[in-house]
Chain A
Amino acid sequence: MSEFALEIKALSHVFGKFRVLDNINLQVLPGQIVAVVGPSGCGKSTLLKAILGTDPPTQGDIFTDGVPVRGPTRNVGIVYQNYTLYDFLSAEHNVSFGLKLDETSFWMRFFGLPAYMAKRRQHLQKSRNFLEQVGLSDACGKYPREMSGGMKQRVAVAQAFIMRPKIVLLDEPFGALDEAMREDLQLMLLRFYQENLIAKREGRRPEYTILMVTHELNEAIYVADRVIGLSRFHTHGGQGAAIVYDRPCPVFHPDDPRDFSKFVEQREELRKAVFDEKYVKDRDKYVTFWNELGALAAQK
């Protein structure tokens, strides 16, 4: 088992003659919730696709738990902004879909029915428990078309996390939701983080490692324990977007009041470092290297 849930080494990506990402190096520890922010078109989605394995980088390597990424596998979970639930499955079947694929074989589903049915009962029970954990115990039998956007996104989150992947990628997960629903889901991630802290205290490996792309700076700082800024606005910006900001964030407890004034200073620093075109900066100034972050995370 690797020290890092995710490790990216010297990743660059080129579309034709356009260099989108330049020399990205990133290490994410198990249990971290990392938010990636950056201006539109800076390559956040390209980076996410590279980690997922659907769009391999032109140069560089990506490892999840020490295993090189060669394509999408169950090591990396994904939650899309548009939910991407399976229309033909109810909420509980959507959540247990991965368990079915992972723990029963294709042929067992046809020729080993008694054993398969026993497994399915376990999967569905596990799925119901997870749906209860994300506040959807009443929606187990509902199909995606019968659910609101917030409910669908909770199901999508449960669907990804029930598989216990090494890392889960959230691609602007709450972008299509209203403010109240967005807040609920942010609190859900904070509860996951609290479970990570308990696991660390008990000497277990934390289960929820998240890399979340968002364009909401408040959300990034509120939910994550580490924020990464990806931008072309740096001294070598002509070569492509790079990590220009990498700092720890204050960790909020889900029961704490949402007080955004606590991180006004960091939000302004982040805005300046990542989004301010006029302010071309030395990117190293805002980057805390992973070993320091590791130490910080250990302290938390």
Chain B
Amino acid sequence: MIRLAIPLWLFWLLAIGGVVTLLGSYERISARQTRINELQTTIPSFEKLGEGLKQIFRPQGLPENPKPPMFWVDMRATLWRLAVGMGVGVAASVFVGVLMGAYRWIEAPLSPIVMFLSKIPPTAMMPIYFALVGTDQKMFTSMVALGIFFSMTQSIYKAVRQDVSDEAINKAYTLGASEIEIIYEVIWKQILPKIIDNVRLQIGPAMVFLLAAEMVVGSAGLGYQIRMQSRILNMSVVYVYLATLAFIGLVAEWALVTLRRKLCPWYVD
């Protein structure tokens, strides 16, 4: 029967079973490929993955002049670009989206532009970013910021229009609120969970834009390293980097859901 309830222990058993089956199947396929070609690196065994893991945490450079392991260099570069880009993009889209939802005279000129530009895939805009901001740090952060800006602005503007009724605003006026108080005390507080959810949903696309840019013009970063290692078929490093991306996504998801529960206990999905 559809949506038939199952006991919790069975749910967890099936969940663990799914993961074990995936890992077991991977190991079998890897072993079969190794039997065919001992030197294959496309589907490395767990042992080889362990070696890849050691490789990325090994200090680089000469022993007398060691440099940080490549994993930290790449992680730092990617996370910094992501954080700055997301920070700028989220702040700008919250500011513009809230004002568009609050004032018709801001909504009227901006909504067609935002709607149009949100339909252009940000990765397709890469040549424009190269031309306008070059290929340095600014390029990566502006790629992430502008990549999420238009779609997030549209989501926030819609949240303001849908979640904050005219009655709620009129009532706030009757309770003595000024315009800035309505924006902060009513609109901001009402749509805060939607903003946090939007940030959560935008991390995936932001990572796509950033990794694509790093693959094309980066000199450090997860995207750059994945491209470099895949070119020499060093998949044991590539898979570890992919697992790291999944881990970043899970941690960000958990952190933002926890933040939303903490800040908005009234909100139910």
Contacts and interface: CB of A to CB of B under 8 A. Distances in A.
A98 B177 CA distance: 8
B95 interface: no
A159 B167 CA distance: 14
Interface stretch (B68-76, B147-155, B179-187, B213-221): B179-187
Contacts of B173: 71-74
A88 B175 contact: no
Given A86-B168, A87-B266, A88-B266, A101 B190 contact: no
Contacts of A87: 190, 266-267
A221 interface: no
B174 A160 contact: yes
A101 B171 contact: no
A54 interface: yes
Interface string A130-166: 0000000000000111000000000000011001010
A78 interface: yes
A172 to B, nearest CB: 13
Interface SS majority for chain B:
helix
A276 B176 CA distance: 41
Nearest to B191: A88
B31 interface: no
A78 B190 contact: no
* Interface bin, chain A: 20 to 34
A72 B174 contact: yes
B181 to A, nearest CB: 5
B25 interface: no
A77 B192 CA distance: 27
Given A72-B170, A101-B181, A143-B266, A88 B176 contact: no
Nearest to B178: A106
A84 B171 contact: yes
B232 to A, nearest CB: 53
A90 B264 CA distance: 12
B172 to A, nearest CB: 7
A86 B190 contact: yes
A76 interface: yes
A277 interface: no
Contact of B174 (A76, A86, A89, A106): A76
B244 interface: no
A52 B264 contact: no
A88 B170 contact: no
A101 B266 contact: no
Contact of A101 (B185, B264, B267, B268): B185
B32 interface: no
B189 interface: yes
Given A86-B186, A101-B181, A159-B175, A145 B170 contact: no
Nearest to B173: A72
A145 B181 CA distance: 24
Contacts of A80: 167, 171
* Interface bin, chain B: 20 to 34
Contacts of A78: 167, 170-171, 174
B171 A106 contact: no
Contacts of A25: none
A51 B189 CA distance: 28
Contact of B175 (A54, A98, A144, A145): A98
Contacts of B267: 87-88
Interface string A99-121: 00110001000000000000000
B170 A74 contact: no
A101 B172 contact: yes
A82 interface: yes
Contacts of A82: 167
Contacts of A52: 170, 174
A89 B165 CA distance: 16
A134 B39 CA distance: 80
Contacts of B268: 145
Which of B175, B267, B268 gathers the greatest number of chain A CB atoms within 10 Å?
B175
A77 B174 CA distance: 6
A77 B170 CA distance: 10
A192 interface: no
A82 to B, nearest CB: 7
Contacts of B177: 101
A52 B172 CA distance: 12
B174 A165 contact: yes
Contacts of B175: 74, 97-98, 101-102, 159, 163
Contacts of B170: 52, 54, 72, 78
Interface of A: 52, 54, 71-74, 76-78, 80, 82, 84, 86-90, 97-98, 101-102, 106, 143-145, 159-160, 163, 165
21 contacts: A52-B174, A72-B173, A73-B174, A74-B174, A77-B174, A78-B170, A80-B167, A80-B171, A86-B168, A86-B186, A86-B190, A87-B190, A87-B267, A88-B189, A88-B190, A88-B192, A101-B177, A106-B181, A145-B266, A163-B174, A163-B176
Given A74-B174, A89-B266, A163-B176, 17 more contacts: A52-B170, A73-B173, A74-B175, A78-B171, A80-B167, A86-B189, A87-B190, A87-B266, A87-B267, A88-B266, A88-B267, A97-B175, A101-B176, A102-B176, A106-B180, A106-B181, A144-B266
